[in-house]
Amino acid sequence: ETGVTQTPRHLVMGMTNKKSLKCEQHLGHNAMYWYKQSAKKPLELMFVYSLEERVENNSVPSRFSPECPNSSHLFLHLHTLQPEDSALYLCASSREEQGYEQYFGPGTRLTVT
Amino acid sequence: SQQGEEDPQALSIQEGENATMNCSYKTSINNLQWYRQNSGRGLVHLILIRSNEREKHSGRLRVTLDTSKKSSSLLITASRAADTASYFCATERMDSSYKLIFGSGTRLLVRP
């Protein structure tokens, strides 16, 4: 859709499971982002990576663990989640981490049971 | 506290009419961006306007920025049913790198 892909599109997991979300951008961008979108709440920035280095961690609980092996791939590892973590998780990328528009993936709809 | 606040929260218009959405923010910014989101999908970037710009056009979209009032507006002219979506403003603050702060959005319904 926009050069940013996310898998899986839907995920249901129990609170004791471990799963990972994957994001890949095909735009040659240097910055990648994870956002959380919950019902009736503004989009929340979780993590920012610039040139594979984490530059922002928005006080996210340690049960969310990001990984950026290269500038095209971003992962979000999930462990021991809570029901309130159910949300749409969006990945985005931009040319640089400042001053440019962001391109979003379609999101992963996560349900924690 | 919320940086960008859109107004109205919801808007329903007839196809062919114009739709205007407003965004207010609190701190100095580098730029302000508008995004569209169809239900349950990713956001699509519409327009980026920098702090030294006052107006920008893209097709049927017109964005204005008034830094003295810390506000922006998005005008969609000759609306279509396909414009039905949520619209978000996002600000890149001068005092904070790496972050776009999103508002809660305006839900636009364009009736055929």
* pLDDT tens for each residue of A34-47: 999 998 788 999 99
Beta bridge partners of B108: B11, B85
Residue B109 in tokens: 């319904």
Look at the block and give the residue holding tokens 């995004």.
Answer: B35
pLDDT of residue B7: 87
Per-residue confidence in pLDDT tens, chain B, 112 aa? 345 688 899 999 999 999 999 999 998 999 999 999 998 788 999 999 999 999 999 999 999 999 999 999 999 999 999 999 999 999 998 776 668 889 999 999 999 9
Closest Cβ–Cβ partner in B40, B90, B98 for A55: B98
Please judge whether B31 and A99 are an interchain contact, meaning their C-beta atoms are less than 8 angstroms apart.
yes
Residues of A with CB below 8 A from B44's CB?
Answer: 2, 104
Average confidence (pLDDT) per 10 residues, chain A, 113 residues = 88 92 96 92 90 80 94 95 95 89 96 94
Residue pair A8/A23 in contact (Cβ under 8 Å)? The answer is no
Q: Give the closest-approach CA distance of B81 to chain A in angstroms.
A: 20
Q: Give A-chain residues touching B90 at CB under 8 angstroms.
A: 43
